[in-house]
Amino acid sequence: NAGVTQTPKFRVLKTGQSMTLLCAQDMNHEYMYWYRQDPGMGLRLIHYSVGEGTTAKGEVPDGYNVSRLKKQNFLLGLESAAPSQTSVYFCASSYMVENTEAFFGQGTRLTVV
């Protein structure tokens, strides 16, 4: 039972480099989310998707892009990484029901130097 799987788990980038974080879920969830976690700030929503082919901005979208070409996958891209994007990134997914819980991946720890 994989649930929500994030790839990679750790990454170090140089300023200006690009990368893509992959999130895959095997629960047939419609909704998917990308959050970032920073000390003392909890988790903040970057982008989300309510279905295949759809994406929308969250609270802190600047510097990130996303794509949801397949229902089970949600990709988060950094086109030109900045030190301010050093964070732990979590993907989550949930059913298309308003009051249901979200299931989280294990996180990706990204350091931009």
Residue type, 111: T
Contact between 1 and other proteins (CB under 8 A)? no
**CA 47, 8, 94, 46: dihedral to nearest 10 degrees?**
-10
Name the 3-class secondary structure at 2. coil
- Residues 66, 21: Cα–Cα separation, whole Å: 9
* Smallest separation, CB 102 to other proteins (Å): 6
Stretch 13-72 residues interacting with other proteins (CB under 8 A) = 31, 33, 35, 40-45, 48, 50, 58
- Three-class SS state of 3: coil
**Minimal distance, residue 68 CB to other proteins, in Å:** 13
CB of 1 to other proteins, least distance (A): 14
Q: What residues make contact with other proteins under the rule CB under 8 A? A: 4, 31, 33, 35, 40-45, 48, 50, 58, 90, 92, 94, 97-102, 104-107
